Structure 1
Amino acid sequence: MPRFYCPAPLQTGLALSLPPGAARHVQVLRMQPGDGINLFNGEGGEFEATVTRMGRSDVDVEVGTHHAVEREAPCAVHLLAGITANERMDWLVEKATELGSTSITPITAERSVLKLKGERAEKKLAHWQGVAVAAAEQCGRNRVTRIDSACTVAQWAAEHPAGAADGVRLVLSLSEGTRPLSDAVQGQTSVTLLSGPEGGLTPAEEAQALAAGFVPVTLGPRVLRAETAPLAVLAALTLR
C-alpha cells in the first residue's frame, strides 16, 4: 500500500487534505476515491487512510486505524557528513535515511567542493530534507531523518562540548592510532559519526574533532569514497 509523509496531527476519523507533495504522488498513481493508503507524521506509528476525493490538484482522505509499528534501528546514529558534490550528497542522504540515521548535519569542511551560504544553503537543506522524506516513505520508516543546519567542525564542537551525554563520538580517520570500528561501538545505543568530504578532513579539522571527544576509527585497509564510508558504518550499526 502506498505510504505518504503527512506532517500534521493525525487521529482516527479525521478528514484532511494531503500536503501538496503527497497529493501530487497520489495523482500520479491515478488513485481513486475508496483506495487505501498509509500515512505517517514522524511522531510514531502509521495510520490507514482512505481517499475520499480527487481534485485537480488536491486530494482529501479520511484517517483510519493507527498501527503502533516502528522500524527504527537499535542504535541511534547522528551523522556529521562532510558536504560532497551535488548528486553524491543527495545519494548519501537517501541511503543514510534508508539505513536508519536519526539525523544528518551537513559539514562545511575545508575540502568540501560545494559551499553553502544564505538562500542557497536554505534551498539545499530543504531539498535534502525532501530527499529524506521520500526515502522514509519508500523504506517503511515512520520517523524521518532530520536534516540539521550546515556548519563547520569547529562550530559543531563549540555547540556540543566534550563530555556531553550523547553517546560515543567517532571520526573516520586514516591517521595512525585509529581503533577498529567494532571495538569502539560495543554496547553503544547512541553514536555521533563524523565523516569528511572528498579528500577527507584536514589535520586541523581532525584535531578539532579529537578535542571535542571524538575517537578516531578505521574501516580497514581500503580507502572508501566520501559517500561510501559513512554508509558502511551505518550498515554495521543499524542492520542488526
Structure 2
Amino acid sequence: MRVSRLFIDIPLQTGATVSLEAERLNYVARVLRLKPGAELTVFNGQGGEYAAQLASVSKRRAELIVGAFNNRDRESPLDLSLVQGISRGERMDYTIQKATELGISRIVPVFTQRSMVSLEGARLAKRLQHWQGIVRSACEQCGRNHVPVVEAALSLPEYLEQENVGNKLLLDPLAETGLTTLPPPGGRTHLLIGPEGGLGDQERVLAHANGYMGIRLGPRVLRTETAAVACIAALQTLWGDLH
C-alpha cells in the first residue's frame, strides 16, 4: 500500500507530536481521507524524511507522531536553475510542476516583453505563494525531500543585471547549437526560456550580452511549457540522473 507523503513547514524531530495547520488538516482529512493510525511520510524540505503516524484527526484538529528519520536523497547531481518567462495561468503552473518533478534546483519567474500576464502588489504576492504551493505538492508526489526555491518575480533586464555565475543557456529556435555539442557543466546551469511567443529580439541580444548561449532542441518550435519540460529532461539525461 502506498504511503502518502506530506510536506510540513516546521522543524521535525523523532518522537515529536505535531499539530497540522488548516491547509494540511484539510489535505489529510478531506483529500486523503486518512484515519487515526494511518502511516505517513513527512518532510520539511531541508533534506531527508520521517516516518509518521496519524494519532488523531477531526474536522478541526489533527495530530501526528513523528517517527524514524531516513536521510533519503533523490536530488539530481545537475544544479539547474530555470529562468522562466511568466506565461498565463495553467501554462505556468504546468511548467513549475513538471520542472520540480524533473529535478530543477531553483525557479526564477521573469517578466518579459511578450509576457501576457500583468501581476503586481498583492496579486503578484498571491501568485508567488500559489507557485510555491505547486512546488511543494510536486515534491510530495515525486518523492523529493529538498524543495526548490521559487524566487521573487522580476523583469528580465533586472535578472540579467545580477551576477549569476555558471553556465548560461538560452533556449532559442533560431540558434544553431544543439545540447549534445556542449561540454558537461562544471557548476550551476541557468536555463532561460521565454513565455508565449518567446523572447523579443532585443531581449535575446541582451541575454547574449550577459553570457547566455543560444541552444535549440530540434527543428520544431515548442510551446513554452513544452519547451521547459523537454529541455530540462534532455539536460537531466545528458548530465543529470535520467537514464
* TM-score grouping bracket, smaller chain normalisation: over 0.9
CA distance in 2, matches of 1:129, 1:107: 15
Structure 1 segment 14-53 matched on structure 2, within 5 A? 14-28=16-30, 29-53=32-56
Secondary structure of the corresponding residue to residue 192 of structure 1: strand
| SS across alignment from 1:105 | strand
Contact 2:12 2:44 in 1 (8 A): yes
Shift of 1:105: 0.9
Q: Residue 16 of structure 1: CA displacement?
A: 1.1
| In the alignment, structure 1 residue 6 sits paired with structure 2 residue 11 | no
The answer on 1:159 being equivalent to 2:162 is: yes
Count of matched residue positions in the alignment of Structure 1 and Structure 2: 235
Other structure's SS at 2:225 match:
coil
TM-score of the two chains, using structure 2 as the length reference: 0.92
Matches within 5 A, 1:211-226: 211-226=209-224
Moved over 3 A (4+): none
Q: Is the 8 A contact 1:104 1:148 kept in 2?
A: yes
**Within the alignment, does 1:228 sit opposite 2:226 as a pair?**
yes
Q: Which residue does the alignment assign to 2:177?
A: 179
Deviations 1:93-128 (A, max 9, x none): 111111111111111011011122111111111111
Deviations 1:57-107 (A, max 9, x none): 221111000000011112011000111111111111111111111111111
Structure 1: gaps of 5 or more residues: none
Amino acid at match of 1:47: Y
Spell out, residue by residue over 1:164-196, the C-alpha distance to the aligned partner (whole angstroms, 9 max, x if none): 43x2110011335x3111223524452110000
Determine the C-alpha separation between the residues in 1 that align with 2:215 and 2:232: 14
Aligned amino acid, residue 168 of structure 2: R
Contact 2:53 2:64 (8 Å CA) reproduced: yes
Instruction: Indicate the residue corresponding to 1:143 in structure 2.
Output: 146
Query: Equivalent residues in 2 for 1:3-152 (5 A)?
Result: 3-28=5-30, 29-152=32-155
The one-letter code matched in structure 2 to 1:97 is T
One-letter amino acid matched to 2:229 = L
Aligned equivalents of 2:224 and 2:7: distance in 1?
Answer: 29
Distance 1:193 1:187 in 2: 12
Q: Does 1:198 align with 2:196?
A: yes
TM-score (normalizing by structure 1): 0.93
Q: Distance in 2 between matches of 1:34 and 1:185?
A: 51
Cα distance in 1 for residues equivalent to 2:126 and 2:95: 17
Note the aligned Cα RMSD (angstroms): 1.4
Matches of 1:184 and 1:109, distance apart in 2: 27
Unmatched 5+ stretches in structure 2: 237-241
Q: Which amino acid aligns with 1:168?
A: N
Please report how far the alpha carbon of residue 233 of structure 1 lies from its aligned counterpart in structure 2 after TM superposition: 1.3
- 185 and 95 in structure 1: CA distance in 2 versus 1, 3 angstrom threshold: farther
| Distance (whole Å) between structure 2 residues aligned to residue 108 and residue 24 of structure 1 | 34
Give the match for residue 169 of structure 1: 168
CA distance in 2, matches of 1:138, 1:4: 9
Q: Distance in 1 between matches of 2:61 and 2:180?
A: 49
- 1:61 is paired with a residue of what secondary structure? strand
